[in-house]
Amino acid sequence: MGVHMKRFLIILLVSILIIHMFPKKSFASVSVNSAAAIVMDQKTGRVFFEKNANEPMKIASITKIMTAIIAIESGKLDEEVTISKNAVNTEGSSIYLKEKEKMKLEDLVYGLMLRSGNDAAVAIAEYVGGSVEGFVYLMNEKAAQIGMKNTHFANPHGLDDSDEHYSTAYDMAILTKYAMQNDKYKEIAGTKVHYAPNPSSKWDRKWTNKNRLLTGLYKYSTGGKTGYTKKAHRTLVSTASKDGMDLIAVTLNSPSSGDWNEHIRMFEFVFSDFEYQTILKDGNIEDVKNSIYKNRAYLARAYQYPITDEEKDLFKVEYRLIKPKKNWKKNPENVPEIIGKTEIYFDDKLIQTMPIYYKYEDAETKKSFFDVAKQIFGTIIGVKAND
Helix, strand, coil percentages (3-state) for the chain, rounded to 5, are 35, 25, 35
Q: Stretch 183-189: mean pLDDT, rounded? A: 98
Does residue 366 or residue 187 have the better pLDDT?
Answer: 187
What is 317-342 written as a DSSP string? EEEEEPPPPGGGTT-GGGS-SEEEEE
Residue 14 confidence (pLDDT): 46
1 pLDDT tier (thresholds 50, 70, 90):
low
Q: Is 257 a catalytic residue?
A: no
Q: Is 25 annotated as a binding residue?
A: no
Going by C-beta distance under 8 Å and a sequence separation of 6 or more, which residues neighbour residue 150?
A: 54, 56, 166, 167, 168, 170, 171
From the list 34, 51, 58, 64, the catalytic residue is: 64
Stretch 172-191: mean pLDDT: 98
Report the pLDDT value the prediction gives residue 6, as an integer from 0 to 100: 58
Contact 66, 143 (CB under 8 A): yes
In contact, 73 and 124? CB cutoff 8 Å: no
Mean pLDDT to the nearest integer, 40-51: 97
Known catalytic membership, residue 167: no
pLDDT value for 29: 67
Comparing CA positions, the residue from 358, 356, 371 lying closest to residue 332 is 358
pLDDT band at 34 (very low <50, low <70, confident <90, very high): very high
pLDDT in tens, 99-116: 999 999 999 999 999 999
User: How far apart are alpha carbons 324 and 75 in whole angstroms?
Assistant: 45
Nearest to 293 by CA among 245, 359, 194, 229: 359
The yes-or-no verdict on residue 257 having pLDDT over 90 is no
Q: Is 277 exposed, middle or buried (0-12, 13-18, 19+ CB in 10 A)?
A: middle
Q: Out of 93, 116, 238, 254, pick the active-site residue.
A: 116
Query: Is 24 one of the annotated active-site residues of the chain?
Result: no
Give mean pLDDT, residues 34-43.
98
Q: What percent of the chain has pLDDT over 70?
A: 86
Q: What would the pLDDT profile of 321-337 be if each residue is shown by its tens digit?
A: 999 998 998 999 999 99
Asked if residue 81 has pLDDT above 90, the reply is yes
CA dihedral 107, 113, 117, 118 (to 10 degrees): 110
CA distance 127 to 8: 74
The catalytic residue among 34, 51, 61, 177 is 61
Q: In this predicted structure, what is the pLDDT of residue 366?
A: 45
pLDDT tens for each residue of 226-247: 999 999 999 999 999 999 999 9
25 touches 314 (CB < 8 A): yes
Domains of the chain and CATH, by start:
36-273 (3.40.710.10), 277-358 (2.30.140.30)
The residue among 256 and 94 whose pLDDT is bigger is 94
Rounded to an integer, the average pLDDT of 185-202 is: 94
pLDDT in tens, 335-352: 999 999 999 999 999 999
